Amino acid sequence: MTDHNFFERLKENPRPVVVDFWAPWCGPCRMIEPQLKQIGQEFDGQVDVWKVNADDHPELLKQLRIYGIPTIVSFNQGQEVARRTGVASRRELGDLFEAALSGERPAFSGLTIIDRVLRVAVGLALLLLAYTGGFEGVFLFIGLLSGVAFFSAVYDRCPIWQTISARLGFSSNDKTNEDESSA
> Of the listed 18, 26, 47, 72, which one is catalytic?
26
172 and 108 Cβ atoms separated by less than 8 Å: yes
Task: Mark out the alpha helices in 16-137 (DSSP H runs).
Answer: 27-42, 58-63, 90-102, 113-132
- Residue 158 catalytic? no
- Residue 26 catalytic? yes
What's the CA gap between 43 and 64, in Å, rounded?
Answer: 24
Closest alpha carbon to 116 in 86, 73, 78, 136: 86
With vertex at residue 60, the alpha carbon angle to CA 65 and CA 98, rounded to the nearest 5 degrees, is 65
> Of the listed 18, 29, 36, 81, which one is catalytic?
29
Segment 113-122 long-range contacts (CB within 8 Å, at least 24 positions apart):
115/153, 116/153, 116/154, 119/149, 119/150, 119/152, 119/153, 120/149, 120/150, 120/153, 122/146, 122/149
- Report CA-CA distances (Å) from 5 to 35, 55, 77, 101: 28, 17, 16, 22
Q: Catalytic residue numbers? A: 26, 29
